[in-house]
Amino acid sequence: MDSGPLAVGIKPKEKDAGNAACIVDVDQLSVIRGNKLILKDIDFKIQKGEFIGIVGPNGGGKTTLLLSILGILKPSKGKIKLFGNKPMSKNLDGKISWVSQAASNIPNDLRVTVRELVALGTINRKNMFWGWRDNKKVEQVIDMVGLRDVSKIDIGRLSGGQRQRAVIGRALASDAEIIILDEPLVGIDREAKNALLKLLDDLCHTEEKTIIMVSHDLAAVRHTTHRMVYLEGSIRFDGIPPDFPTLEELALLRGIKDVHGGHHYDHSEEDCDGEHD
Ligand X SMILES: Nc1ncnc2c1ncn2[C@@H]1O[C@H](COP(=O)(O)OP(=O)(O)OP(=O)(O)O)[C@@H](O)[C@H]1O
Cross-strand bridge partners of residue 230: 55, 237
Provide the minimum distance between the beta carbon of 130 and ligand X in the complex, in angstroms, as a whole number: 38
Provide the minimum distance between the beta carbon of 180 and Mg ion in the complex, in angstroms, as a whole number: 12
Q: Which is nearer to ligand X, 29 or 138 (CB)?
A: 29
Amino acid at 134: D
Contact yes or no for 45/24 (Cβ under 8 A): yes
CA distances from 253 to 3, 7, 8, 256 (A): 13, 8, 9, 8
Q: Name residues whose C-beta falls within 8 Å of residue 219's C-beta, 6 or more positions apart in sequence.
A: none
Residues that bind Mg ion (CB under 5 A): 62-63
Binding status of residue 61 toward ligand X by CB under 6 A: yes
Binding status of residue 33 toward ligand X by CB under 6 A: yes
Residue 56 binds which of ligand X, Mg ion, none (CB < 5-8 A, kind-dependent): ligand X
Binding status of residue 56 toward ligand X by CB under 6 A: yes
Q: Which is nearer to Mg ion, 63 or 194 (CB)?
A: 63
DSSP 187-212: T--HHHHHHHHHHHHHHHHHH--EEE
For residues 203 and 201, give the distance between their C-alpha atoms in angstroms, rounded to a whole number: 5
Residue 84 binds which of ligand X, Mg ion, none (CB < 5-8 A, kind-dependent): none
SS3 3: coil
Pairing of strands 210-214, 51-55: parallel
Provide the minimum distance between the beta carbon of 69 and ligand X in the complex, in angstroms, as a whole number: 12
Pairing of strands 51-55, 234-239: unpaired
For residues 258 and 265, give the distance between their C-alpha atoms in angstroms, rounded to a whole number: 12
Residue 169 binds which of ligand X, Mg ion, none (CB < 5-8 A, kind-dependent): none
Binding status of residue 60 toward ligand X by CB under 6 A: yes
With CB under 6 A as the contact rule, the residue among 1, 2, 22, 63 that binds ligand X is 63
Q: Which is nearer to ligand X, 58 or 246 (CB)?
A: 58
**Selected range binding ligand X among 31-39, 42-50, 164-172, 243-251, rule: CB under 6 A:** 31-39
Provide the minimum distance between the beta carbon of 214 and ligand X in the complex, in angstroms, as a whole number: 7
Binding status of residue 100 toward ligand X by CB under 6 A: no
Choose among 113, 93, 110, 99: nearest CA to 199. 99
**Selected range binding ligand X among 4-12, 52-60, 131-139, 148-156, rule: CB under 6 A:** 52-60
Binding status of residue 62 toward ligand X by CB under 6 A: yes
Which residue ranges make up the site for ligand X (CB under 6 A)?
A: 33-34, 38, 56, 58-64
